[in-house]
Structure 1
Amino acid sequence: MKLIIAGASGFVATEVIRQCLSIPKITSVIAVARRPISAPVDLVQSADASKLHSVVLDDYDSYPDGVRQEFANADACIWTVAITPSKSRGLEFDEVRRVCHDYTLAGLQAIFEAHGKSGSNAAPLRFMYMSGSAAQRDPKEVPRFMSKYLLMRGETENQVLGFAMEHNGAVEACVSKPGLITAPGQLLKTIIATVLKPFVPSVGVKEISAAMLHQVLNGFEKETLQNDDLVRIGRQALSDVRE
């Protein structure tokens, strides 16, 4: 499998890269970011860092021919490009929408077009879009907090899934909706996750990464993976690796 990871410099994407370099079925990893990406330093002995190919993109809404050529023959994409709710508060909403919504749809279109021109039509493109548990797809259900942001993220989810329906048979799409994402060593975030557990779900970065990789490799269980799904699939995938 040739896998594109968009937003490759991010927190979750870094863990996705670390894991997929140890998965034999993944033969090529296209790490897309605004700066060069190197293999994580904490790779296991079985990892193959030579599979990683860094692709520097100036802007996620414009894809030069050279970048599109890198996308050729790609089987799947995990899209992690976004602005988090906390960071969005310090930015103009138009910029937040551009990054979270416009970039996603432009990237999906470019990857789909490259997939179609590659001559590899035996299997559909699998597109995994990482959103958030609070994103609201129904515009009539207005969230009490950060409604503009959460409705925009839900609109993006709808359009990603709608793109797959429009190109039935050529694209398969899945939306992962994690809650708070934690990691070993991040004491403050772990404490926050514990305190907010009755109200906000959480998932470990290793679990969500393993879950998304499992799904793009083996096929999507369903079009929307809630936090509990990600924990379940991720834990099982990590357990299978240890065995």
Structure 2
Amino acid sequence: MTFKLILTGITGRIGGEVLQQSLKNPSVTSVIALARRPVPELASHPKLDLVVVKDFKQYPDELIAQLSGADGCIWCMTTPAGDPVLELEYPKSFAEVFAATLAGRGERFQYLHVTGAAVERNQSKPLWLKSSVRKIKGQGELQMIDFAKDPATNGLWETIIARPGGVVKRGTMFGEAAALVGGSSGWTIRSDELAVALIDAVMNGSEDQLLQPVALLNRGQQLIKKQVDTEDENK
């Protein structure tokens, strides 16, 4: 299996881990990482093409050509602030540009949009905590779900939404403690568990369009266990 992946948000906790796990995955043959600034320490990896994008609403022809032929995208560009430009305009601009490259494809393009566990799609629902942020992210989910129905995609675009719980880092005291307290509830998930779950979903699809915290946790834990078992067998 070969897979060409587009990835955003690589300087964040989630996107950075997705990038590392993608580069380790033998089935991911190339990664085009779209970033707002250079990341010199990553520039030399043979599978990685790091592209600095000055404006995520503008895609020059040479960049479109570079993106063409990708099999999937994991959109990790999100912030706790809920910036409407970042949450709504950026992914929409990418989708509209990339859709033009889909004509003639034999397989569907998998787009995975990462948000968070507390996101709210109902714009009229009263919320006590971070209402505007949660609703903007909900608008972002609906926007990308609706885009899959746009005639411009020729029926070749599939949107998957991932809503992880709190993301903690493996090997840190706080991260391991939080993962232990969260148990199997999905309240917390290690960044490596989330990353492999997202990669697996974008490569192999998902029966559910919305991946909730527990589903992501279970999927990630199973995949990490499989990795460990394989490494032990190869020793």
Under TM normalisation by the shorter chain, which class is it? 0.7 to 0.9
Distance of aligned partners of 1:100 and 1:190 in 2 relative to their CA distance in 1, 3 Å threshold: farther
Q: Which whole-Å deviations, capped at 9, do the CAs of 1:155-193 have from their partners, x for residues lacking one?
A: 110111111133463101100001110002444466667
Distance of aligned partners of 1:71 and 1:207 in 2 relative to their CA distance in 1, 3 Å threshold: same
- 1:27 counterpart SS class: strand
> Post-superposition shift, 1:38?
5.2
> Post-superposition shift, 1:195?
7.3
Give, in whole Å, the separation in 2 of the partners of 1:13 and 1:30: 12
Alignment counterpart, residue 56 of structure 2, candidates 56, 60, 75: 60
Match of 1:9 in 2: 11
Q: Which whole-Å deviations, capped at 9, do the CAs of 1:90-133 have from their partners, x for residues lacking one?
A: xxx7xx111112112112222222344xx5x0111100000011
Match of 1:133 in 2: 117
Pairwise CA RMSD: 2.6
> Post-superposition shift, 1:62?
1.4
**1:32 counterpart = 2:34:** yes
Counterpart residue identity of residue 204, structure 1: R
Unpaired runs of at least 5, structure 2: 231-235
Match of 1:45 in 2: none
- 2:31 counterpart SS class: strand
Contact 1:38–1:54 (CA<8 Å) still a contact in 2?
no
Distance of aligned partners of 1:148 and 1:194 in 2 relative to their CA distance in 1, 3 Å threshold: farther
Give, in whole Å, the separation in 2 of the partners of 1:107 and 1:70: 13
Once the two structures are overlaid, the 10-residue window that deviates more, 5-14 or 161-170, is 161-170
Give, in whole Å, the separation in 2 of the partners of 1:194 and 1:35: 35
> Post-superposition shift, 1:154?
0.5
Distance of aligned partners of 1:141 and 1:79 in 2 relative to their CA distance in 1, 3 Å threshold: same
Match of 1:165 in 2: 149
Distance of aligned partners of 1:38 and 1:11 in 2 relative to their CA distance in 1, 3 Å threshold: farther
Aligned length: 225
Scaled by the length of structure 2, the TM-score of the pair is: 0.86
Contact 1:71–1:115 (CA<8 Å) still a contact in 2?
no
Match of 2:73 in 1: 77
Distance of aligned partners of 1:194 and 1:151 in 2 relative to their CA distance in 1, 3 Å threshold: farther
Distance of aligned partners of 1:192 and 1:236 in 2 relative to their CA distance in 1, 3 Å threshold: closer
- 2:120 counterpart SS class: coil
Contact 1:211–1:234 (CA<8 Å) still a contact in 2?
yes
Alignment counterpart, residue 176 of structure 1, candidates 145, 158, 162: 162
Once the two structures are overlaid, the 10-residue window that deviates more, 137-146 or 180-189, is 180-189
Match of 1:143 in 2: 127
Distance of aligned partners of 1:66 and 1:218 in 2 relative to their CA distance in 1, 3 Å threshold: same
Give, in whole Å, the separation in 2 of the partners of 1:39 and 1:233: 30
> Post-superposition shift, 1:206?
0.5
Contact 1:7–1:32 (CA<8 Å) still a contact in 2?
yes
Counterpart residue identity of residue 32, structure 2: I
Distance of aligned partners of 1:110 and 1:8 in 2 relative to their CA distance in 1, 3 Å threshold: farther
Alignment counterpart, residue 202 of structure 1, candidates 188, 196, 201: 188
Match of 1:225 in 2: 211
Scaled by the length of structure 1, the TM-score of the pair is: 0.83
